Amino acid sequence: MPVKWLLHWQPNPGATLSSQILTEACACVESVGGARAGRWKTTLTFYRPMARDGASAPESSRDFLGVQLHDHPGKYYSILRAHRILLESDSSIQAVMEKLQSYKARVVLNFEGFQYQLGDFQIRVGKCVPSQSENLRGIMMEVEYLPLSSIEKSRQLMEEFVEIWQETVSKKSLPGHFLHIESNFTDYGLHDYYTSQHTAVQYATCMQQLIAAVRN
């Protein structure tokens, strides 16, 4: 599948997040010729292990994430970050987990927004909000280069695109910038050929960065 990079919005020190930044980012995509092509939504769930017979769950099992990607709705990606374990399964695994009562959803975050077509690129700009509120937790974007599936072969093109994108956004004088953090795919046994599992790992990385950005 095509290579993707996830970028998150890094506010300047002391700056606050606002939906206006999302609006301006969408306007930037349209200003360089991006054609709006619908909406998208990816869901990331933090799970809490359910204690049995009063026993506390191992610390390592507390860092358990589930990811349901907008472009693979029939799949579910489970990530145990402490052990660098990534499991791809059918989306029905969520119902199985609920019946087994081994893990309980603690926090559900929705990444959602608009999708754009821009030449050989697909751009998705969106916000991160809890499922039960509109409290803005972050702003992020997906950059997908459709012709290539090799991470290394597409690297220069992606870097050049992001550089142009940063210049475009900087003209808006917004209080921050978009940032791409490289995920360590090899930790999860993933290689150069891009897959949806790479995207799931990137969402886990992006989520960490968004939380850190809000705290700062």
* Every domain of the chain and the residues it spans: 3-215
Read off the pLDDT of each residue in 147-165 and give the average, rounded to a whole number.
97
Read off the pLDDT of residues 192-202 as tens digits, 9 standing for 90 and up: 999 999 999 99
CATH of 3-215, one of 2.40.320, 2.60.40, 1.25.40, 2.30.30: 2.40.320
Read off the pLDDT of residues 10-53 as tens digits, 9 standing for 90 and up: 999 988 889 999 999 999 999 999 999 999 999 999 998 887 66
pLDDT value at residue 57: 56
Q: How confident is the model at residue 62 (pLDDT cuts 50, 70, 90)?
A: low
pTM: 0.91
Q: Output the six-digit token pair for 185.
A: 């795919």
Distance of CA 140 to CAs 83, 101, 128, 148, 193, Å? 26, 32, 7, 22, 23
Placement of tokens 């992006």 in the chain: 206
Residue 79: exposed, middle, or buried by beta-carbon count in 10 A (0-12, 13-18, 19+)?
buried
Q: Output the six-digit token pair for 142.
A: 């997906």
Cα–Cα dist 180/83, whole Å: 24
How many CB atoms lie under 10 A from the CB of residue 161? 19
